[in-house]
Amino acid sequence: MSKGKKRLTKGQLRRVRANRDKRLNKRNEPEWDNDTLGPQIPGRIITRFGQHADVETEEGEVFRCNLRRTVGSVVVGDRVEWRQGNEAMAGIAGVVEAVHPRRSELKRPDYYDGLKVVAANIDQILVVSAVVPELSTQIIDRYLVAAEDTGITPVLVLNKIDLLSAEERQAVDATLAPYLAIGYRIHLVSSETGEGVADLEHCLQDKVSIFVGQSGVGKSSLINALMPGIELETGEVSSNSGLGQHTTTTARLLRFPGGGDLIDSPGVREFALWHLAPERVTWGFKEFREHVGGCKFRDCKHGNDPGCALRAAVEQGEIDAQRFENYHRILESMVSERPTRHFADPLNDK
């Protein structure tokens, strides 16, 4: 066990295990009589909580289902086959019988299982930053690395551009130029004035997206601008929003009226802080990949090592110096944060 990681007392561990067993056992009920179930229908999981899931049909109708013990992991975004009961049992309309193979998965560290899938079939990760008080490329790079690790396409969104002078706007464009050069899409937007929001709406069409980014960058404000009526809590609103526990802690899938879907939850939004192995960090700087094999030493740390192909590429202007600098800072911070930051408290983690 790594230094600094919180140890549980024996009593706490017993409680954690007992709760977990209780949750697993609940899967047994209610018992469906196969003869009374309708035919298999395709659907999509829009929320998953406890031993239940809300399944949306292609027609947009939502049915609360329980899960066959045999189906394994079922998460928001999953494509499933389910069957409807001829009468609702304890408010449950049917049962999920099979999960289709996933085209992508978002995982986070889990106390029991190492990595746990929290959402499936996401097409793009919108990395939201605010240009004010300051645009941090290190934070952007951190999210990009995490996104690259999942294989899901990241898109950069810079919010609050209404607060920029023309001069500052030029500086922001210059800061972002290296990202355009290596092929990332960038949206400059203001959820306040609506600038750039129509383009962003277009980018969301026909895709399943998640919004990630630090607190206060305006993710909720943007989602509210794109999804009128949803009224997610933003920084200025009191915490007494009337939203239930489920809605705030469980990931759910929502439809943008302009087309496309959003998977959202506080847990999903925090994903870049989850742990990554150092070699995955290197891989996550996608323009480094073609150079990495060229280092003189196989265990090159790409610092002051002789014959480092990455450093040579920086000197030749093929790799952006700021990205290279951020790379080293991210590696350092991940090593120093690893013991405690990336594991949720198992006693409070539902």
State the nearest-atom distance from the C-beta of 269 to ligand GTP, in Å.
6
The Cα–Cα gap between 206 and 29 comes to 36
Q: For residue 128, what are the β-bridge partners?
A: 157
Grouping H, G, I as helix, E, B as strand and the rest as coil, residue 240 is coil
State the binding partner of 235 from ligand GTP, Zn ion, none, CB within 5 to 8 A by kind: ligand GTP
Residue nearer to ligand GTP on the CB measure, 66 or 191: 191
Residue nearer to ligand GTP on the CB measure, 162 or 168: 162
Range list of H helices, 56-130: none
Residue nearer to ligand GTP on the CB measure, 95 or 225: 225
The Cα–Cα gap between 245 and 154 comes to 29
The angle subtended at Cα 197 by Cα 233 and Cα 175, nearest 5°, is 100
State the nearest-atom distance from the C-beta of 329 to Zn ion, in Å.
17
State the nearest-atom distance from the C-beta of 139 to Zn ion, in Å.
24
The Cα–Cα gap between 9 and 11 comes to 5
State the binding partner of 218 from ligand GTP, Zn ion, none, CB within 5 to 8 A by kind: ligand GTP
Would you list the DSSP string of 123-148? -EEEEEEESSS---HHHHHHHHHHHH
Residue nearer to ligand GTP on the CB measure, 47 or 265: 265
State the nearest-atom distance from the C-beta of 242 to ligand GTP, in Å.
16
State the binding partner of 326 from Zn ion, ligand GTP, none, CB within 5 to 8 A by kind: none
State the nearest-atom distance from the C-beta of 261 to ligand GTP, in Å.
18
Amino acid at 186: I
Percent helix, strand, coil in the chain (nearest 5)? 35, 25, 40
Residue nearer to Zn ion on the CB measure, 65 or 300: 300
Residues annotated as binding site for Zn(2+)? 295, 300, 302, 308
What tokens were used for 320? 């952006």
Catalog residues that contact ligand GTP under the rule CB under 6 A.
159-160, 162-163, 190-192, 213, 215-221, 234-236, 269
Residues annotated as binding site for GTP? 159-162, 213-221
